[in-house]
Structure 1
Amino acid sequence: MEVSRSTFEDDLPIILENIHESDYVAIDTEFTGLQTNDGNNPSLFDTPAERYTKLKQTVTHFTLCQFGLSTFTRIPKFNKYEVNTYNFYLFPIACSTIDVRFCCQASCLEFLCQHHLDFNKFMYEGIPYLNKDQESELRQQLHIQPSLITNDVDNKLLRMYSSIISEWVQNANENEELIVQGSEALQAFYSSLKIEAILRRQMRDIWTSTNDLGQIVVKKVSNIVRKELEKSEGFLEERILDKLLGFSKVIGTLIETKKPIIGHNMLLDLLFIYQQFYRELPDSYTEFKKELNLILPTVFDTKFIANELRKKLKDCPFFNDTCLEDLYFSLDSHDGRYIVLHSPTMEIVNNKHYVFLRMVHIFTMKQLQLREIQPQGFVAYLHTFKQFKNCINLSRATIHCLNLNGPDPRSVRPEWLYIELKDSNILACNTQLANVFGAYGSVDVKLLDKKHAILAVATHRGSKDILKAFHKHKSFRVVKYNVLKHSPRVRLVLWSGVAMTAVVCIWTIFSSQRQ
């Protein structure tokens, strides 16, 4: 189901109910950009903290345009899962001092075009949202000066309405109504509410509402009736703020219910969720992990899980390619569905997030004795998969994953290699070195100076091949990197220490001779 601004309020109750009743929720996002500059590209030299800093810059410059959410609810009697899938169009709304700026990256927009994103729905029908910081800012304004919330209205339209109503109300009887014809300007999100709020502030002897046709209905009321209506309905500014929260209510329910969240290669998804619906991303990577784990304590990344199952279940050929689409087709094949007994069924087809259910079922059944094999509940799946909980895939970095609930794992990447250019006429160049050594696998280069560089290699096989191929090369000297020998900074510190020690020794000897 597609959910847009015009349908969101009607669809929200059932969406929240589905989340509450579900066993787990799967998410997927689309955004307007990936990198702000070339310096933000992923690198094999990146530590988790360095990668977080790069991704934080991405998240603060771009915005989500779509959010996919699927709820999975087990029906034990039939060993079946009921699936409800929603595709939300999102767009940040400007209000008062909140005016979100975001960039677009041409390559990402081209990708979205190829996958048929409706940009009209994104711009005109995107559901608004606020994070906690933005909500707090608007609530403070609402408390101090409510008119700030309605300061960005169509003033020409407002003047016209005010003139019509002022003239009408002078001769109108109590409880008499006036219907103000709608306009295209009022079709914009919550514009009619803003106009109503200002009209109510300007004229104390009226009450306003909006009918099903989007027209403003003005009713002349006494002071007593006006006070009763205000007491029962509240102020329109509160309703405006409630509408502005929009999709944040969905994320708030996920946080409140603590449902397991499933995603694929989902680190960027999690950062976007934190930044746009919760709070501003902290500068500290450690603080981000701690806070994210508090609000979303159970997260599973199917990219990381597939990589691990490829090593653990060598008799299963379904995890050779960890791309989500390939995983889906492999696990949905005849062999994938019947490699173990009692695979749960699903009432919806073509939902790639069913990959998680298929993987956890295969892995769980492989752990059971023959006499124990029977349909499994979701709690049993969670117990079996607890070793993969909160481990988020980290592509092309010093480690393969980050742990949201504790210390990150140690690196299993190959040691760095140290490159020295022997030819005095050739200067070190990133592109040149990457082309030379990239023939042996995925590599990244970090220049130390004009003649020296460090090489990070993705695989141990690639590292061994490079050391063997360049053992006695005429142009390059390649050895394993040693920080004491090859780091200019460390060598400077060591030589500074040696020099300082020598000075102290000479001074001591000189002082003793003088005595």
Structure 2
Amino acid sequence: MEVTRKNFRECLPLINESIKKADFLVIDAEFTGIINGRDVTMFDSPQEYYITLLKGSTDFLLIQYGLCAFYWNETEKHYMNDAYNFYLFPRGRPGPEKIFLCQSSSLDFLSSQGFDFNKLIKEGISYMTEPAETRLRENLTERQKSYVSGNNNIPIPDENKQQIEDICKRVRVFLNEKKADSMEIDRCNAFIRRLLFQELGNRFKKEVFVEAKIAENKSRVLKVSRIKSEAEGRNKDSEKKEKEWEEVEEAVGFSKVARMISQSQKLVIGHNMLLDVIHTLNHFFQPLPADYPAFKEFAHLSNITVGKSSPDLSRVRQGSGGKPATARASPQQSRARSSSVSSPPEPPPRKRTSSGVFQVDELEPPPKKPELTRSKPEEPAPERPLAAISNGRRKAHAATAEDGDRCRDNPDYVLHLCQIPLRSVEPFR
């Protein structure tokens, strides 16, 4: 399902339901660039790897987020999923302005894959970090309190007095003529609008209602509406406050989904996902720490307070198509998993015969890695165990390709093929 600003509010309950019922979640993200400066290398230490990505990638923007919630269907005996594709674009007003970098190769790649940049900018869902959201909510609360108290008046500078007086005279003429229900005041900067809110509220408090409005050309104007009764004035004040809070909720936007993932404590899976993790935490939660140990601690935090925990992140080397995964393993399951991981690998897949049994030639164990000595500089390295296992599975796949029709006609047989043991699940480090 594609989710944009237009349908985000309606889709939010559905997304929340999908996350809650999921056995595990899969994420993927797209950015305006990958890295700025030196790229990471296989010789970098974890600290160097993290610092390089932190300095070189956090100035890019996260513009698309894919979320797939997998859950087990007991009736059908297989996994099903709810997939969502979010267009993300943080916009100012009321949220903070976002300045970011772009990388030409990344944009070119996205364009070649059919990415819609017009939709991104026009319909992208906004987001912000938790500190930015806290500041925004506090500022709005204080501003709305000032509506009632009226104790935040500021003196009008001499150079602006004549302009304010001229506009107030226009409003008086508008009220006396009684030809229209509203009028607009344009060509005002933010400071002049602030002064007009103050002066019009003081001089015509029970006669007009003043609110800011964004015109078609994206400029901000003031709309002055005639108040016909005291009750109408109170209703307009309530509607104004509700609208301001709705704008805040829209500005928080996709951060709500990220925090749903965090609070669910479900297993989160991704391919080569360190960049996804860095951007997820940096854009939706908190600014990232400058050292790797603090980052690891931050990435594994959970249940500090509601809405302020980071996702339960894991890498999965091999998936499991058999039994549903659980978000948290019991102590017995943890011990069994530890024993499974530390034990020798299971026999390789077997080839299907006429009796329905698989059989392939046993794989020979790879030779031990030779010691590197000066006397044998040209000695080739042995085949890696992972490559040997991969070759064996490739043989098994080729052997079963000829019998594909029988696989499709026998669901139990297909289910047996899918029951690959979970050989290695380790926490994100």
Into which bin does the TM-score normalised by the smaller protein fall?
Answer: 0.5 to 0.7
Residues 204-231 of structure 1, C-alpha deviations (whole Å, 9 max, x = no match):
5448899xxxxx9967353344335645
How far does residue 286 in structure 1 lie from its aligned partner after superposition? Answer: 1.3
Structure 2 residue 76 is matched with structure 1 residue 78: yes
Pick the aligned partner of 1:362 from 384, 407, 420.
Answer: 420
Conservation of the 8 A alpha-carbon contact between 2:144 and 2:241: no
- In structure 2, relative to structure 1, the CA distance for the partners of 1:22 and 1:84 (3 Å cut) is same
1:469 maps to which residue? none
Q: How does 1:399-438 map to 2 (within 5 A)?
A: 403=429
1:100 aligned onto 2:137: no
Cα shift at 1:316: 4.4
Say yes or no: does 1:256 pair with 2:289. no
Alpha-carbon distance between aligned partners in 1 of 2:65 and 2:236, rounded to the nearest angstrom: 38
TM score, norm. by length of structure 1: 0.51
1:412 corresponds to: none
- Unaligned regions of 5+ residues in structure 1, if any? 148-160, 181-194, 211-215, 346-357, 365-384, 392-402, 404-515
Distance in 1, matches of 2:89 and 2:168, equals 31
One of 312, 315, 322 as aligned partner of 2:348: 315
Q: Deviations over 1:412-436 (max 9, x none)?
A: xxxxxxxxxxxxxxxxxxxxxxxxx
RMSD: 4.6
Query: Over residues 464-491 of structure 1, what are the superposed CA-to-partner deviations in whole Å (9 max), with x where a residue is unaligned?
Result: xxxxxxxxxxxxxxxxxxxxxxxxxxxx
Between Structure 1 and Structure 2, the one with more helix by share is 1
**Cα distance change on mapping 1:47 and 1:206 into 2, 3 Å:** same
Report deviation, 1:201. Answer: 10
Spell out, residue by residue over 1:367-412, the C-alpha distance to the aligned partner (whole angstroms, 9 max, x if none): xxxxxxxxxxxxxxxxxx7x51424xxxxxxxxxxx2xxxxxxxxx
Conserved 8 A contact 2:35-2:57: no
Structure 2, unmatched stretches of 5+, are 146-166, 185-192, 214-222, 302-308, 320-340, 351-385
Which residue does the alignment assign to 2:56? 58
Which of residues 296, 302, 316 is equivalent to 1:289?
A: 296
Matched, 1:266 2:303: no
**Deviation at 1:146?**
6.3
Q: Give the distance between the partners of 2:411 and 2:345, measured in 1 at CA.
A: 16
Bigger RCO of structures 1 and 2 (CA < 8 A, at least 6 apart):
2
Give per-residue Cα distances to partners, 1:163-210, cap 9 Å, x unaligned: 99886655669xx97699xxxxxxxxxxxxxx9xx9899565448899
Q: Distance in 1 between matches of 2:212 and 2:100?
A: 34
Superposition map of 1:322-361 within 5 A: 361=419
Q: Counterparts of 1:344 and 1:230 in 2: how far apart (Å)?
A: 62
* Shift in Å, 1:3: 1.5
Identical pairs, percent? 27
Q: Distance in 2 between matches of 1:64 and 1:16?
A: 21
Superposed displacement of residue 73, structure 1: 2.4
Residues 140-183 of structure 1 deviation map (CA, whole Å, 9 limit, x = unaligned) = 33244469xxxxxxxxxxxxx9999886655669xx97699xxx
Distance 1:6 1:201 in 2: 37
Taking structure 2 as the reference length, the TM-score comes to 0.60
Q: Contact conserved, 1:281 with 1:288, CA < 8 A, in 2?
A: yes
Per-residue deviation, 1:136: 2.1
Amino acid across the alignment from 1:299: L
Does residue 300 of structure 1 match 2:314? yes
Q: Residue 19 of structure 1 aligns to which amino acid in structure 2?
A: I
Letter in 2 for 1:115: Q
